[in-house]
Structure 1
Amino acid sequence: MTVTHPGAPTLTAALDCFFVRPGDDARARTTGRHVLGRVTYGHGGRPPMLHDGAPLVRIAMAGDASERITEVWTSDRPVRSGREGDLVYAEDGEHFFCAVRIDERGVYRDTVRSVYENAFTLMWRLGYTELLRMWNMVGAITEANADGMENYRDFCVGRAEAFEAWSDRVDGMPAATGIGSLRPGIDLYFLACRTGRARHLENPRQTPAHQYPTQYGPKSPSFARATVMDPGSGSRSALYVSGTASIIGDDTVHHDDVERQCDVTLANIEALISPENLRRHGLTGGFGLADLDCVKVYVRDAEHLPAVRARCAGAFRSGTDLAFFNVDVCRPDLLVEIEGICR
């Protein structure tokens, strides 16, 4: 598999993503493209639905002073959409988008396992046997559930049990984000593709999340640090960066210092997407921070937003699609988390 080098000519992407902000009607048009899914990070949330022939996911992520954004996934292929139980999905013959919501409850693990397994069953039946990218927005993520366990750890138990049950069919854990939201319950959406198209990457600076010790919960988080998708002939490859934070090995570093945490987070991403790390995984090419796009930055404390914005402005190019959200991160001592896509 070859990852397109930043200097290569631009080609039409089979699967693409961009952000739309309120009033940006021109950018919302997808002339010549087909919408695979829309995700609105807004002031309120609702269960996913089909709208204009594609899934629409609405997640409460923007506070009163925040600007909402809609993340739009498009394809160069005709799209077919549908609903199965609580799952809303779309497919184009090569890519699969699926979304579901879990309403607030005392303990999540059994429901999370069931929802994940239902999603795996649907994607497998439709022929999309390789996971590409997953997002998990967990309300009250670091608060205790009815059993006294942190909600994120509770969620991780159900997700891990689903991956264990499907280990003979789902080959590897994909890039993922597990982050807080402003509404109780859990909002999930994910991408899958055909077999042989995805490669999952780890970071030389970090312990693989699925190997974390039990001090972080009874089941380790089930995700890779990044996933590379080879889209096939005539299209650009894409590297999907998981939610990344100020973690070296498995330890949070620079407690209570958001600027240093932001610097470590950016350094972690830079190491992850570098040519050296891709070579370590048997891939060619590579990226730098200036190649990252569709960047979402999650900041725990509102007073830290100006400092994080300044750090990101210096790291990413001026035309980057960049959005900031004031939500809790998956550990109480983590102040910032960043994700994005390299193409």
Structure 2
Amino acid sequence: MTLTHPGAPALTAALDCFFVRPGEDERARTAGRQVLGRVTYGHSGRPPTLHNGAPLVRTAMADAATERITEVWTTDRPVRSGRDGGLVYAEDGEHFFCAVRIDACGVYRDTVRQAYEAAFTLMWRLGYTEPLRMWNLVGDITGPNAQGMETYRDFCVGRAQAFESWSDRIGGMPAATGIGSLRPGIDLYFLACRTGRARHLENPRQTPAHRYPARYGPKSPSFARATLLEPGSGTRPVLYVSGTASIVGDDTVHPDDFGRQCAVTLANIEALVSPENLARHGLAGGFRLADLDCVKVYVRDARDLPAARAHCAEAFRADADVACFNVGVCRPDLLVEIEGICR
């Protein structure tokens, strides 16, 4: 393990995220803050590395029809970063970011389980025992693996096995996104925090993903619909919304209608973040759909990108960071998936 920055004193932490586009300078938005990690949703991908003292993840998610963005995670605490096997990571004493790349292979379940368990082991060793948010960018997500199983279902087996093996130490599954990417293999990046800060939420309109019936695969997807990071001293709560699609109960609805799928997806998010749903989980407060920021919209068919942008312009604030990508979604009949952050 190699550390590139010294440890941090005990300070109140605040985790933030914003998007940078080509030609923009991130320095004005990081003034007085430290970078915990960067993720470039670009035209090509490389294994994660350390760049200027922070992890840099480069993924193949943008094609000619979509713009490249870099997602920048910052904190108001000093950061230390390092490598551990194939993982690159950074920590600030309250938040942890790590990333790993799984190269293309015929069957993914074992390598996915190993990658997740390596990340859990590192988190736990460094004291970040509460997973907060996870992203899984899967090449050819609905295509077949070498055994004829859908790649996403293959991935879900390995992820579920890792959560099962850590069930005595990890109390719940966090918010997550499982989405397609434009190159073979799987890129993973994770956020975690200190114990007791993360509260995982389900959606009253949807069956919890980990309870899906067997027709969706031998192992159900392992994630919550959202995770609330409860505030430390002087900070406000932040709600991380998982990748959300046109699913009611566990069924895809309006499989051939992009506009109606968008409407259901946004209604699902609205119900998820509402004060009524937070109260259902024993939490005060709540959010509106217009509070969503750092929105990523994943669109299966390029012809639907203009409609996706129009729906987002109507649903979200004019100054919200919104990025659209033309990639596969986790079911062949899903046309769009949306995620974001409420703060």
Alignment TM-score, normalising by the size of structure 1: 0.96
Aligned position for 1:9: none
Return the letter of the residue paired with 1:88.
V
Aligned position for 1:200: 200
Aligned position for 2:7: none
- Structure 2 contact 36–90 (Cα < 8 Å) conserved: yes
Secondary structure, counterpart of 2:123 in structure 1? helix
Aligned position for 1:180: 180
Instruction: Please report how far the alpha carbon of residue 64 of structure 1 lies from its aligned counterpart in structure 2 after TM superposition.
Output: 2.1
Instruction: Please report how far the alpha carbon of residue 13 of structure 1 lies from its aligned counterpart in structure 2 after TM superposition.
Output: 7.0
Secondary structure, counterpart of 1:16 in structure 2? strand
Work out the CA distance in 1 between the residues paired with 2:36 and 2:263. 34
Instruction: Please report how far the alpha carbon of residue 231 of structure 1 lies from its aligned counterpart in structure 2 after TM superposition.
Output: 3.1
- Runs of 4 or more above 4 Å deviation: 26-29
Return the letter of the residue paired with 2:149.
M
- Within a 5 Å distance, the mapping from 1:95-174 to structure 2 comes to 95-174=95-174
Aligned position for 2:89: 89
Distance 1:125 1:267, change over 3 A: same
Instruction: Please report how far the alpha carbon of residue 163 of structure 1 lies from its aligned counterpart in structure 2 after TM superposition.
Output: 0.2
Return the letter of the residue paired with 1:320.
A
Work out the CA distance in 1 between the residues paired with 2:193 and 2:91. 9
Alignment TM-score, normalising by the size of structure 2: 0.96
- Structure 1 contact 278–286 (Cα < 8 Å) conserved: yes
Work out the CA distance in 1 between the residues paired with 2:48 and 2:28. 19
- Structure 1 contact 20–28 (Cα < 8 Å) conserved: no
Give per-residue Cα distances to partners, 1:258-311, cap 9 Å, x unaligned.
Answer: 000000000000000000000000001000011000000000000011111111
Note if 1:323 corresponds to 2:323: yes
Work out the CA distance in 2 between the residues paired with 1:239 and 1:320. 15
Figure out how many residues of one structure are paired with residues of the other and give that number: 332
Work out the CA distance in 1 between the residues paired with 2:208 and 2:50. 36
Aligned position for 1:235: 235
Aligned position for 2:5: none
Question: Greater relative contact order (Cα 8 A, min sep 6): structure 1 or 2?
Answer: 1
Q: Which runs of 5+ in 2 are unaligned?
A: 1-11
- Structure 2 contact 20–26 (Cα < 8 Å) conserved: no
Work out the CA distance in 2 between the residues paired with 1:70 and 1:300. 21
- Structure 2 contact 142–150 (Cα < 8 Å) conserved: yes
- Structure 1 contact 135–178 (Cα < 8 Å) conserved: yes
Work out the CA distance in 1 between the residues paired with 2:276 and 2:251. 23
Aligned position for 1:3: none
Give per-residue Cα distances to partners, 1:120-167, cap 9 Å, x unaligned.
Answer: 000000000000000000000000000000000000000000000000
Work out the CA distance in 2 between the residues paired with 1:185 and 1:148. 16
Note if 1:72 corresponds to 2:93: no
- Structure 1 contact 20–27 (Cα < 8 Å) conserved: no
